[in-house]
Structure 1
């Protein structure tokens, strides 16, 4: 597919994916105003992730500023960027409202990268991260909302009287005070280990869908962006991931990262998580028209699409331009999202503020939508009022089957009977059900939970945020990638 980038950039991307639980989804889309890249990592199944993938782009495009700026006019670009911030935040919020209206308990992370002209906009809730490499600087474009590592988000939840604790030793809900726990800190009920997401109805109204947004201006030599779910970042540091694939062209970088992720996970004796990777190269275009090429690879290594052959002069030219960014022998500094926010003024003071094109990345904005757009927060609260209360989810439904799951999956309603760990749980207690919308009411609730039981009975699954292996009537705890202490090697 050939398109024209008004800032003389050629954009190519490659994807690679390995599915273990089947809860990661991705989307790439080019349109007349730019390119959109999306990764969702689902919780409690893939339903929320699929819904978000199918709706978020439409919500963003319907709010996109009607006219593009003159990309060589800094003032126009900044005005356009500010309008885009609110458009993206509203799109996240509206997607949340539409999903909650379905009364479904599943949730998902959401990370979006938008490229329009020489402006890159990244927005995220959850822990699917994106990093940009200019050759001079490696910059985190996202802010991880893991409660374990984000002190501000942890403090926000605690100030709202949220119950934060590790998983209990017997996988029966949160660890009691002074009792040993397993894995990272989580918010209860639900056991979610991130403070922001789309959906996750059980975790309460303080789990918000409002993203952190970062916007940067691309340098004249272009940049590379790596966008991935936590299956990659839990085993590879941002800096290591970037440097590992620097010598590789777009078409090979994504699959190489997937292989490195699998090897690193095996070396650390970690259970593989779903891993989804998008590598985006934004390079000076050698000629016009400027091409966007797409190469998709899955874990089998099968090439699904390759518009340009290896001998194509367009691809060779673009790759040589990208590699020329790294002629310097000095290794770039890694700047985290929170460091970039505090250093924004000093970074901006070193550039010509009237010029759009610079020698390195320029951080244009670093915005927490929860603070910047209180009106959107109020809109979400009003639309979801009552849904997060377990008593108000809907009419009572009976579960008339034995459910061999940890207590976290039975925290959907009033107190219930729970037999000792390792034996089968039997309940006929009433649960607050998901009313009103199909297929979540009355007898259909039984069907839904039977489907969930079948879905997770013979594979690794996420139950209330807990990685478990369910076999017969026995629940065997397994420390997944996110539960390993060594996985929290975060950039500071």
Structure 2
């Protein structure tokens, strides 16, 4: 047996230093700036850093950034700014740990977007809004988007990555096919005599976007189901740019990053807006948010110029870490990992977007609508798997469940039938669908 004097001891100061370094690596520093030029007064932003939630005996922090570009008025943009975050958080059980909470975000964002759209349309307002919504928890970035505002990322390793989808009909063939296969029409504005002008639009209504919140006057083909992407940055960090179409109608992603290289976030946002106005003039509301995600042990400094990417670098940057490499958390020095893609889903089908790999008992409250969170009595819920073509795996008595109103919306937006035809059929199947 070894004596006390032979045992290896570690000074308390070294232990505290290691703990501090691990915390710094685990939690980046987030700094942001914004700039805008108003034409219609329909752009709104949500900037919330250091949001807190209780996790076990501790507190976890996260940051939220949102850009809402309204059209046909500002009511939908204002309503979404004030209610979307609460609707997203309301779809996540309160007892999840940090990893479970991050994993639940994609489904919760879908539920929050659809609930916000449903609640707003009950106010009989005709305006609509695009939404680009970003939640940063540690090094994980989760982005949900409808419309044509964009969120782009430049990690410290180099390269530019789109974290949002563009739902403008002119440039999204998949969305055009979804609308036409569901019974809608896509075409340009006809001025008479056969002449067609302007961007492609969805008819009825004439909206040039295929997804938005609001727009109750343009039919069921315009859906609020967001494209969701989740990535984990390396501990070297990166820079995000979130901008409305006033920027992207004038600048490419490369130009946006290049024009603000080595600038702090406030100056960078202002420079991007300035470049857009110089290129196209003030034709639309033009808003930009710049966010730097930085290691805390380093001072806030501009990111270095990105290295040029060679063949295969894109795939290697998104490779998943092995479980073996992630288990060595007690090293004195933790090497920066590479950026990982954790989740991506762009389907407009609610049944796909609400499905989950995680146990239903942990993710859904049994008698609460998985979309709008309304309380339901036993037997009232309609399973999202009702009518599934694969009954062996997805059974109609398995949750999550939707209320009748959300089921109507789901069926209509997926083009299976008009919203007025579903109530009788669904009601006749309630007893068979109930889990009791």
Q: TM-score by structure 1 length?
A: 0.61
1:382 to 407, 413, 434: 407
Q: Residue 199 and residue 383 in structure 1: after superposition, are their counterparts in 2 closer, same or farther (change >3 A)?
A: farther
Residue pair 1:97, 1:383 contacting (<8 A) in 2 also: no
Query: What secondary structure sits across from 1:54 in the alignment?
Result: helix
Deviation of 1:253 (Å):
0.3
Q: How far off its partner does 1:44 sit?
A: 0.6
1:448 maps to which residue? none
C-alpha displacement of 1:359: 4.2
- Larger CA Rg, structure 1 vs 2: 2
| Residue 331 (1) aligns with residue 308 (2) | yes
TM-score by length of 2: 0.68
Instruction: Decide whether aligned partners of structure 1 residues 115 and 385 sit closer, same or farther in structure 2, where only a CA change above 3 A counts.
Output: closer
- Could you tell me which residue of structure 2 aligns to residue 20 of structure 1? 39
Deviation at 1:364, TM superposition (A): 1.1
What is the DSSP-based 3-state SS (H/G/I as helix, E as strand, rest coil) of the residue aligned with 2:294? strand
Matched residue, 2:147: 126
Q: Which residue of 2 aligns with 1:44?
A: 72
- Matched residue, 1:284: 295
User: Counterparts of 1:37 and 1:202 in 2: how far apart (Å)?
Assistant: 28
Output aligned runs, 1:42-441, within 5 Å: 42-64=70-92, 66=94, 77=99, 79-135=100-156, 136-169=158-191, 179-266=194-281, 272-286=283-297, 317-319=299-301, 322-323=302-303, 325-326=304-305, 330-332=307-309, 348-349=318-319, 351-352=321-322, 354-355=324-325, 358-371=336-349, 372-373=352-353, 379=402, 381-382=406-407
**Alignment CA distance shift 1:282-1:354 (3 Å):** farther
Cα deviation, residue 8, structure 1: 3.1
Contact 1:39 1:229 in 2 (8 A): yes
Q: Is the 8 A contact 2:35 2:266 kept in 1?
A: no
Where 1:144 maps in the other structure, the secondary structure is: coil
Aligned to 1:201, what secondary structure does the other structure show?
Answer: coil
- Aligned residue for 2:151, secondary structure, equals strand
Between 353-362 and 55-64, report the one with greater CA deviation. Answer: 353-362
Contact 1:231 1:261 in 2 (8 A): yes
Q: How far 1:211 moved relative to its partner?
A: 0.5
| Correspondence for 1:422 | none
Local SS of the residue matching 2:240: strand
* 1:62 CA drift (Å): 2.4
The offset of 1:81, in angstroms, is 3.5
Distance 1:129 1:149, change over 3 A: same
| CA deviation vs aligned residue, 1:403-462 (integer Å, no higher than 9, x gap) | xxxxxxxxxxxxxxxxxxxxxxxxxxxxxxxxxxxxxxxxxxxxxxxxxxxxxxxxxxxx
Give the paired residue count: 330
Please report how far the alpha carbon of residue 68 of structure 1 lies from its aligned counterpart in structure 2 after TM superposition. Answer: 6.7
Structure 1 residue 169 displacement after superposition: 3.0
Shift of 1:202: 1.6
Residues 138 and 333, structure 1, Cα contact 8 Å, conserved in 2 = no
Q: Structure 2 regions of 5+ residues with no counterpart?
A: 1-22, 53-60, 327-334, 356-369, 372-383, 385-401, 421-436
